């Protein structure tokens, strides 16, 4: 009897352990991988500018590093007055560069990324409880495949603060509105939360121009729908929206003389529309196909969430007409809104189509994802190694008393999943170069054009062959790698 009881107890524990693993691992593995990628992404490009006390972007030589919280606040204010209105992102950016320790950012960024993916899952399913491990993993895969500047948006410190962090704030701000759509009787757990929702509203409005523009129209559509249905408006909706409008006003008030003229506006509209269609043709095609299938063939109503986020995506595209471009990291929020739209439709249609179709589509996506992930991982690691080797050279020259240093450039990275992809290096960026000089405490830093062929494999192989006999250190490895880069 006792033996039987013990066996049953062991079986229950085993089942519980398996259930915990099935629940936790799909979340834990992507976050660990993301954290490792963050560790392999060094300070880069505008990070060095943001490490300095800021007066103006181009005219100021960036000669003094941030040294206090007051420097962060003043620099944020100066950037707000002289460059752009993204004070929320800039404050976060300056704050991390004040620490001068990338590890602090790496941990915080991995946490924010996890929250970001959960926010997407929530807006797709309508409930945190409905976010399965499979959905969490699938969102990660879609982000990797759909974002044209994944590394700049997610890993690069300055890019992440501007796009990942502000988008997370926006999706968090929209949570109670999403809950209200799902459940008309919903109210925040405490009235204090309703009154305090003005704060996330301000932060969401004071984010990015195209992001906030999309959310502005989304909120407008939300209230038009409520008015048509004659539904009462409650405290969090009023104060949250007021806060958003305050933040949105603070964001756009600093943009002067940006209207390109009527002919310029037409030209920009054509270019942006064309770029949008080219960039998102596949994503738009799948969304339209699923929508037609649901509406005309299955006679089902598309969820308000899908309509709302698709509208927000289109408005975020329209907001890019004034600057006149739609590419790279700038289209981040458009892709996020489209992903939410797509997954909302997938959740609907998944319930009414044979399982084999779902498996087939999933298999195709994995076939595309795996080689892309492998190549991207290699490029992220390669960029990190080259940067470390170059930084080792700079510091070793400084120790020798050489304060006028010339280094090889640009860093040869060919995959957009690297945070250094398409970045501006030492050769062609004066603000970043002068800021790097301040960062390293030297007199000058100039670039020497180098080959895209780094010879890393040869250098590592040579190091491993000589390591034991010559008692080489990791510093010797970096020296060999830098010298092998011709």
Mean pLDDT by 10 residues, the chain (486 residues): 55 69 87 97 94 80 92 95 92 97 97 97 94 94 97 97 97 96 87 94 95 94 92 94 96 78 86 93 95 90 93 94 87 96 92 83 94 97 94 95 93 93 79 89 91 88 91 92 91
Of 353, 386, 417, the domain-final residue: 353
Q: Give ∠ CA 48-446-383 in degrees, rounded to 5.
A: 60
382 and 311 in a common domain: no
Which of 353, 382, 399 is a domain's end point?
353
Quote the CA–CA distance of 457 and 470 in Å, as a whole number.
19
Q: Residue by residue, what is the 3-state secondary structure of 89-152?
A: HHHHHHHHHHHCCHHHHHHHHHHHHHHHHHHHHHHHHCCHHHCCHHHHHHHHHHHHHHCCCHHH
> Nearest-CA neighbor of 248 among 215, 271, 273, 222?
215
Q: Are residues 349 and 436 in the same domain?
A: no
Domain match, 113 and 240 both: yes
pLDDT reported for residue 256? 67
User: Is residue 81 included in any domain, yes or no?
Assistant: no
User: What is the structure's pLDDT at 60?
Assistant: 67
Let me know: does 417 contact 150? Beta carbons within 8 Å.
yes
**In the numeric block, which tokens belong to residue 86?**
């993204």
Joined tokens for residue 160: 């992440």
pTM above 0.95, yes or no: no
Of 321, 353, 385, the one marking the end of a domain is 353
Q: Are residues 429 and 384 in the same domain?
A: yes
Residue 95 lies in a domain: no
Residue 53's region, left for phi above 0, alpha for psi from -120 to 50, else beta, is beta
H helices of 299-350, in order, are 304-318, 332-350
Task: Specify the DSSP element, H or E, that contains 408.
Answer: strand 404-409
Q: Is the dihedral of CA 364, 366, 371, 377 positive or negative?
A: positive
* 333 and 404 part of one domain: no
Q: How far apart are CA 286 and CA 280, in angstroms?
A: 10
Q: Alpha-carbon distance 411 to 402, whole Å?
A: 22
Q: Which secondary structure element, helix H or strand E, spans residue 359, and what is its range?
A: helix 355-399
| pLDDT number for residue 118 | 97
Q: State phi, psi for 52 to the nearest 5 degrees.
A: -105, 155
Q: Tokens representing 246?
A: 């305050």
Rounded CA separation 446/429 (Å): 10
317 and 204, same structural domain?
A: yes
Q: Return the pLDDT at 58.
A: 62
**Which of 411, 438, 450 lies closest to 54 in space, CA to CA?**
438
Could you tell me if 253 and 188 lie in one domain?
yes
Tell me the C-alpha distance between 396 and 475, whole Å.
10
- 326 part of a folded domain: yes
In a domain, 312, yes or no: yes
Measured CA to CA, the distance from residue 457 to residue 382 in angstroms comes to: 10
Structural domain contains residue 219:
yes
Tokens read off for 137: 């993993």
Query: What pLDDT shows up at residue 189?
Result: 81
449 three-class SS: strand
Q: Are 436 and 362 in contact (CB under 8 A)?
A: no
360 lies in a domain? no
Q: Are residues 323 and 391 in the same domain?
A: no
pLDDT given for residue 8 in this prediction: 63
The answer to whether residues 199 and 282 belong to one domain is yes
pLDDT value, residue 1: 46
Are residues 336 and 385 located together in one domain of the fold?
no
217 lies in some domain: yes
Number of domains in the chain: 2
Same domain, 298 and 409: no
CA distance 368 to 116: 24
* 405 shares a domain with 277: no
Task: Let me know if residue 264 belongs to a domain.
Answer: yes
Query: Can you tell me the distance from the alpha carbon of 302 to that of 129, in angstroms, rounded to the nearest whole number?
Result: 22
Domain range for 448 is 374-484
């Amino acid at each position: 009897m006792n033996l039987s009881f013990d066996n049953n107890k062991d079986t229950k524990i085993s089942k519980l352990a398996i259930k915990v693993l099935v629940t936790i691992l799909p979340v834990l593995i992507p976050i660990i991988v993301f954290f490792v990628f963050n560790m392999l992404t060094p300070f880069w490009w505008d990070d060095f500018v943001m490490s300095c006390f800021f007066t103006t972007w181009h005219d100021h030589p960036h000669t003094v590093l941030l040294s206090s919280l007051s420097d962060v606040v003043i620099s944020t204010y100066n950037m707000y007055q002289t460059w752009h209105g993204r004070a929320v992102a800039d404050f976060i950016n300056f704050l991390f560069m004040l620490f001068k320790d990338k590890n602090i950012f790496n941990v915080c960024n991995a946490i924010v990324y996890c929250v970001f993916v959960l926010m997407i899952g929530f807006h797709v399913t309508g409930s945190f409880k409905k976010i399965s491990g499979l959905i969490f993993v699938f969102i990660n895969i879609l982000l990797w495949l759909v974002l044209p500047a994944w590394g700049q948006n997610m890993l690069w410190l300055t890019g992440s603060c501007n796009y990942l962090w502000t988008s997370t704030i926006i999706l968090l701000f929209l949570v109670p509105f999403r809950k209200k759509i799902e459940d008309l009787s919903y109210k925040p757990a405490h009235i204090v939360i309703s009154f305090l929702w003005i704060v996330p509203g301000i932060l969401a409005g004071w984010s990015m121009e195209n992001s906030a523009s999309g959310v502005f129209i989304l909120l407008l559509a939300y209230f038009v729908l409520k008015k048509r249905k004659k539904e009462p408006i409650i405290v969090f909706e009023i104060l949250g929206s007021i806060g958003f409008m305050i933040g949105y006003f603070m964001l756009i008030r600093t943009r002067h003389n940006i209207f390109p003229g009527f002919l310029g506006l037409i030209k920009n509209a054509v270019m942006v529309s064309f770029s949008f269609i080219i960039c998102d043709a596949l994503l738009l095609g799948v969304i339209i196909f699923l929508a037609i299938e649901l509406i005309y063939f299955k006679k089902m109503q598309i969820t308000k969430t899908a309509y709302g986020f698709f509208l927000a995506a289109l408005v975020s595209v329209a907001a890019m007409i004034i600057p006149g471009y739609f590419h790279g990291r700038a289209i981040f929020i458009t892709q996020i809104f489209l992903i939410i739209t797509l997954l909302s439709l997938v959740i609907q249609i998944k319930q009414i189509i044979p399982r084999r179709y779902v498996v087939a589509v999933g298999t195709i996506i994995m076939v595309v994802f795996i080689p892309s992930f492998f190549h991207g991982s290699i490029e992220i690691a390669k960029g990190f190694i080259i940067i470390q080797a170059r930084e080792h050279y700079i510091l070793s020259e400084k120790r020798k008393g050489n304060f006028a240093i010339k280094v090889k450039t640009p860093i040869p990275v060919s995959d957009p999943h690297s945070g250094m992809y398409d970045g501006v290096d030492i050769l062609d960026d004066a603000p970043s170069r002068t800021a790097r000089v301040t960062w390293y405490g030297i007199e000058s830093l100039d670039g020497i054009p180098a080959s895209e062929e780094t010879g890393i494999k040869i250098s590592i192989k040579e190091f491993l062959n000589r390591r034991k006999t010559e008692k080489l250190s990791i510093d010797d490895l970096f020296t060999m790698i830098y010298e092998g880069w011709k």
